[in-house]
Amino acid sequence: MNYEREKAMYYIGVDLGTSAVKLLLMEEDGRILNMVSREYPISFPRPSWSEQKPEDWWQQTREGIRDLLRDYDRGLVGGISFGGQMHGLVVLDREDQVIRPAILWNDSRTTEETEYLNEEVGRDFLSGHTGNIAFAGFTAPKILWMKKREPENFARIHRIMLPKDYLVYRMTGVHATDVSDASGTLLLDVRNRTWSKEMLAICGIRENMLPRLYESYDCIGKIRPDIAKELSLPENVRVAAGAGDNAASALATGTVGEGKCNLSLGTSGTLFISSDHFHLDESNALHSFCDASGRYHLMGCMLSAASCNKWWTEEILGETDYAGVQSRVDEKRLGENPVFYLPYLMGERSPLNDPYARACFVGMTMDSGQADLTQAVLEGVAFACRDMLETARKQGLVIDRSRLVGGGAKSGLWQKILANVLNLKLDLLETEEGPSLGAAMLAAVACGKYPDPKEAARAIVRVKKTIAPDPDLAAKYQRQYEKFSGLYPALKGTFRALVGSMSCDK
């Protein structure tokens, strides 16, 4: 038995994040053997700009692989795959040299190009050809920006790729991407999983500049002999196409199959709903993307989730004991709080698409205390998650339970509030390692250990606990949600006027 365990194959998952690359070594049965992280710098050369050097990613990934395998038999590595930050623009010339630093997902220099796409090209045209409208972080607006602002660099473009695909290219020599990551470029016809000729024409690029499209679990090749020698790896190590970070994370939570749902309560909040069929959100409140299993998903993102709790606890209360602050909330008052909180600290993306939205407390009286406001913050984020859920349900998706992950998911009080506000069973997982675990699972599929991602998820992902809603409390929260739902429409004009007046004052 020990001999078999020693000879089990290993799979490497690489998560190319914004601040660091995180690497995970997984045994074929899903057991995590080791994890390492290597940081790299991010530059902000101008206000609203965000850039990185792709060479930094590659250097730290190679060093990370050395660290990851230091105490393990490198000869047992069977495959490697990637999850990574989406939407970034990486451009290479004919000599395979990076033309300029990568423009990242959180770069907002493309306001003008985004407005052009949405208003002049038109939202209906965009959603009809790609399944989505333009956002400043997407790749197509970045290409238009480069075309207009850096025409000499634009003329040198020979290859266009996404951040994780640069690592794949350096490792294999194959110019490839997967459909989940490509979904966030605004260049992909998501429904048909092919590049949109119409969008390529609008951006002034040729299809041969773009990577070949693969499913996330496809083997796109093997590592180059020189890289295998440098890292002391077998030359037959297979490389899977990989996935965008959210799609890779969804696989790691077992969110695969019709109606499967995952709610991530991190700095931002993400609702990921898997579907066997393509759904076009006519309100453009949710993204329609391909997933990592060969199917599709709808995804909503609220900009401030656990960050609201961090702001309230640390900045306003001046405390760091989150559990202590939340212990002051009387759970007998759940569903009866007269104070409401709108969680729009940074505007809102899904489902409002309103950069002018602002956070506020509503309903305070002389009787309102700190515990009421703490409770309101947790409930306000939950109500905003419910907004995204209801938008998905309008597309005909049936959702009866969800996985719950992220830093905010560690709060027992917040778990209870969310389960009853959403009126869903919430599953908590034994292992929560996000894109790096999802990438390792894709590598295992590409190597034939599992027949498909769904089977890999079924074998590897395990639920440790389920939080069920209480019918009476869920009914109370339904009434509270109806009150919450009227607040943003009533304040929308005020938010816009406030932001406009502050801009004028400056």
Annotated binding-site residue numbers for substrate? 86-87
Task: Locate the DSSP E strands across 100-147.
Answer: 102-103
The burial class, CB within 10 Å (0-12 / 13-18 / 19+), for 346 is middle
Element (H, E) at 308: helix 306-310
What residues form the annotated binding site?
86-87
Residue 367 tokens, joined: 């009787």
Helix%, strand%, coil% for the chain, nearest 5: 40, 20, 35
Taking the C-alpha atoms of 251, 257, 259 and 263 in order, what is their torsion angle to the nearest 10 degrees?
-10
Specify the long-range contacts of residues 391-394, CB closer than 8 Å, at least 24 apart.
391/281, 391/283, 391/285, 391/286, 391/300, 391/350, 391/351, 392/271, 392/273, 392/286, 392/298, 392/300, 394/283
As a whole number of angstroms, the distance between CA 219 and CA 222 comes to 8
Nearest CA-CA partner of 210 in 276, 165, 277, 159: 159
Nearest CA-CA partner of 300 in 384, 410, 396: 384
Residues 23, 12 contacting (CB under 8 angstroms)? yes
Placement of tokens 């959180």 in the chain: 106
Any residues with CB less than 8 A from the CB of 220 and at least 6 apart, and which? Answer: 168, 172, 174, 176, 214, 239, 240, 241
Query: Residue 359 to residues 106, 347, 380: CA-CA distances in angstroms?
Result: 21, 8, 10
Query: Residue 387 to residues 35, 275, 321, 481: CA-CA distances in angstroms?
Result: 36, 19, 29, 9
245 labelled catalytic: yes
Residues 87, 52 contacting (CB under 8 angstroms)? no
As a whole number of angstroms, the distance between CA 24 and CA 52 comes to 23
Nearest CA-CA partner of 376 in 415, 333, 345: 333
As a whole number of angstroms, the distance between CA 44 and CA 27 comes to 39
For residue 492, count other CB atoms closer than 10 A to its CB: 14
As a whole number of angstroms, the distance between CA 310 and CA 89 comes to 31
As a whole number of angstroms, the distance between CA 325 and CA 111 comes to 39
Given 107, 218, 245, 427, the catalytic residue: 245
**Phi first, then psi: what are they for 146, rounded to 5°?**
-65, -40
Active site residues: 245
